[in-house]
Amino acid sequence: MQVLLEDVGYAYGDLPVLDGVSFAVGEGETAALIGPSGCGKSTLLNLVGGLLAQQTGRIATLGAAPAGCLNPLTFVFQDFALLPWRSVAGNVALALEHHGLGRAAQDARIAEVLGLCGLSDFADALPKQLSGGMRQRVGIARAIAVKPAVLLMDEPLSALDAQTRELLMEDLIAIWARERTTTLYVTHNLTEAVRLADKVVVLSRRPGRIKRIVGIPVPVAERQKPEHAGLLKNLHDDLWGLIKTEAQVADREMQHV
Amino acid sequence: MSDINMPGRDRSSVAFRGAGFVPGTTRWAPWLAFALIIASWEAACRLGWLPPLFMPAPSEVVSALHDLLVDGKLVTHITASLKRILSGWILGSIAGVAVGFAMGIFVLARSVGLPVVSALFPIPKIALLPLFILWFGIGEPSKIATIGLGVFFPTVISAYSAVDNVPRNLIRMAQSFGLSTRMIVFKVILPGAMPGILAGFRISSSIALILVVAAEMIGTQVGIGAFVLAAGNLMQIDQLIAGVVLLSVLGLTVSAVLSFTEKIVLRWR
């Protein structure tokens, strides 16, 4: 499934945060959305996911959802958003139990995604008993349990330490390679964007407008190879060059607010 | 292997400075404190430091409790009070949780409910007992209505606050997975609000206990409030204190029941 955004704008009251944003995320493609703080990245993700009502422009999906898809547009949240009173399996079940699956089918699906995310031994654990990385794995397991057509990831690794982030990036690459899910990935972290995305959509500071769309001409699976290190470093630096000045201005504005 | 070469001279061990300020409790301390208070009270009475007419010894209070138990009055008074407390508390709690939930979830209910509750909550509910007697008669309904109304307002506020404090990100998550409003209420908001609602029950049960005593001091012969008032009028101070002890035990029992409920319902915490 593709995601198409055409001239999208949004304002919180009198405060415009997005203006004339147009781009497409192709079938099976991962697009990273970067930009200075407050440029409307998360707002855009919430608009695409239907958690905010569209104001101007048009957001549409194109193409059929994959077989067995229960929730075409599915979020993975920065703060994990796990129900603390439910076990790991129970949190995954929340996404499934209103779809009329039989108990056996639901249990099988839960066992499968917990296995994929390395959580089989923690099915009965409560979120408070897990580390941050494990909690986000539960969030990812819950998301892939519904076989989404589009994954909407809102800074999914930003609450994690560097080592856990590395491990989860590898897990995400493996999941995307297997599921071929279209993904819109919001991040502040340029290293994540360069490592995970097929293309990087750079937004200007508020109100967010498309500043540049940068393709990454190295397959995701090969980006750890030494021969690509120089190119990826240059891309990283180019992206930083695109947002550095505006990020500094946005940072001062945020402090002022 | 170690890269440390500890010199033999001029070295001093690092002293531990992190002791204390631990929010813990000890099991024996409260029992010892109770025992000391009761022993001191008994000793003061036996040594004549406290006038027996106004402050009988604990042993006399125990004797009065024993007499009440033997002649069946204890059971009669406690049963009457418990019936009133339970009826009023259950009615007030059900209505309070329902209204609090509505205020927490629906904009219109919140808009109407907040000012109304804010205006009516501060009224001492016992002041309405004469009005309820006029409306419902001198019998049980007026007492139950007083307790119910006293329980209703704190329950509304605690339920509303509890719903309001359920993290919005959990509700957004449930919406993002396509759960219906009803499912979000029962699978996310209700369990998420339970800690606040149960904390409210603690407060409302104490209020019910206070109101039952006050309500029983008007127009009734049975119930712990009536018993305490009659004992005071007859200067039977040992019986009066026995009644107060019964109220304390009743309060502790309610608290223990709620603690047990919290342990079961909130074991995830």
- Its ipTM equals 0.91
Q: How far is it, in rounded angstroms, from Cα A35 to Cα A155? A: 12
Bond from prior residue into A127 cis (ω within 30 degrees of 0): no
Could you give phi then psi for residue B149, rounded to 5 degrees?
Answer: -70, -40
Instruction: Kindly give the confidence (pLDDT) of every residue in chain B, 269 residues in length, as a single tens digit, with 9 standing for 90 and above.
Output: 567 776 667 778 889 998 888 888 888 998 999 999 999 999 999 999 988 888 999 999 999 999 989 999 889 999 999 999 999 999 999 999 999 999 999 999 999 999 999 999 888 888 888 888 889 888 889 999 999 999 999 999 999 999 999 999 999 999 999 999 999 999 999 999 999 999 999 999 999 999 999 999 888 889 999 999 999 999 999 999 999 999 999 999 999 999 999 999 999 88
User: What is the pTM for the complete model shown?
Assistant: 0.85
What's the CATH fold of domain B57-265? MetI-like fold (1.10.3720)
Residues of chain B with Cβ-Cβ distance to A128 below 8 Å are 268
For residue A85, give the nearest of B169, B174, B268 by CB distance: B268
- Enclosing H/E stretch for B30: helix B28-46
Q: Which residue in chain B is spatially nearest to A49 when comparing CA positions? A: B176
Asked if B177's CB is within 8 angstroms of A74's CB, the reply is: yes
Q: Which residue in chain B is spatially nearest to A76 when comparing CA positions? A: B173
Interface of A with B in 116-135 (CB under 8 A): 126, 128
Q: How many helical (H) and strand (E) elements, i.e. helices and strands, does chain B have? A: 11, 0
For residue B179, give the nearest of A49, A98, A128 by CB distance: A98
Q: Is the pLDDT of residue A257 over 90?
A: no
Residues of chain B with Cβ-Cβ distance to A77 below 8 Å are 169, 173
Q: Which residue in chain B is spatially nearest to A85 when comparing CA positions? A: B268
Among A174, A113, A121, A160, which residue's Cα sits nearest to residue A140? A113
The terminus-to-terminus CA distance of chain A in angstroms comes to 39
Residues of chain A with Cβ-Cβ distance to B183 below 8 Å are 98
Q: Which residue in chain B is spatially nearest to A145 when comparing CA positions? A: B177
Per-residue model confidence as pLDDT tens digits over B89-131: 999 999 999 999 999 999 999 999 999 999 998 888 888 888 8
Could you give phi then psi for residue B16, rounded to 5 degrees?
Answer: -75, 125
Q: Are B148 and B211 in contact (CB under 8 A)?
A: no
Instruction: Name which of A85, A88, A153 to mutate to probe chain B: the one with the most chain B Cβ atoms within 10 A of its Cβ.
Output: A85
Give the model's pLDDT for residue B132: 87
Residues of chain B with Cβ-Cβ distance to A95 below 8 Å are 177
Interface of B with A (CB under 8 A): 169-170, 172-180, 183, 187-188, 191-192, 266, 268-269
Q: Are A3 and A24 in contact (CB under 8 A)?
A: yes
Asked if B176's CB is within 8 angstroms of A75's CB, the reply is: yes
Asked if A94's CB is within 8 angstroms of B170's CB, the reply is: no
Per-residue model confidence as pLDDT tens digits over A190-210: 999 999 999 999 999 889 899
For residue A79, give the nearest of B169, B177, B183 by CB distance: B169
Q: How far is it, in rounded angstroms, from Cα B58 to Cα A88? A: 54
Distance between A75 CA and the closest CA of chain B, angstroms: 7
Q: How far is it, in rounded angstroms, from Cα B126 to Cα B150? A: 8
Q: Which residue in chain A is spatially nearest to B184 when comparing CA positions? A: A94
